[in-house]
Amino acid sequence: MTDATPDATPDATPDATPDATTGFWYIVHIYSGHEKKVEINLQKRVRAMGLDQQILTVIVPIKEVAEVRNGKRRVVERPSYPGYILIQTSDELKANSENPDVLRSWQLVKETPSVMGFIGSSSNPVPLNEEEVNQVLNLSSGGERPEPILEVDFISGDQVRVIEGPFKGFPAEVNEVDRERQRVHLTISIFGRSTPIDLEFLEVEKI
């Protein structure tokens, strides 16, 4: 299936926090890397076919990731689940539905370029429950997004330099990366002796 690049960017999904308690939520499998294109294209097609009262939301679940570049922290957005988007409908999608708009909505999604299909049964996609929607949208129980996760590309054996604290400027070797605690275990040479130290991600950089 050929992907079409939208000729203009329409209104994006509203900034308001999605309401996981209303409607029916489905996961749609798409070509990985085409998340934003499919989101924009599907939003345009929904409006063009007058189905905006049936397909309420089209959204790419995202996560905020903090990256460390040259000792500086920056926050970027990435798809939480590459190759998938989420849609919210006012009615449950069923192959035997007597509502013509339900059937039109189903066809519209399936025929959108880069869409591979719904997750679940081919005849009756299974909607997510509220807890699953919150999880996919990366929302807390209070409807708020958690703090960005700090991601680094350190691995055991990497050579790094300490950029903060009393050992600033010292070269070191990575022994272990603790992503849960966002700390890195290092070996540093002090007066010719190998000494283990434990620092935060932001306190070191790759050489």
Block means of pLDDT (10 residues each) for the chain, 207 residues, are: 43 57 92 94 96 94 75 77 93 90 93 91 82 77 58 87 88 91 90 88 85
Q: What is the pLDDT of residue 147?
A: 64
Q: Where are the domains of the chain?
A: 24-149, 154-206
What is the structure's pLDDT at 13? 41
Task: Say what the pLDDT of residue 3 is.
Answer: 46
pLDDT score of 103: 92
Report whether CATH 2.30.30.30 matches the domain 154-206: yes
Q: Which two tokens stand for residue 180?
A: 């849960």
- Residue from 63, 1, 57 nearest 34 by CA: 1
**Fold designation for 24-149:** Alpha-Beta Plaits (3.30.70)
Name the pTM for this structure.
0.65
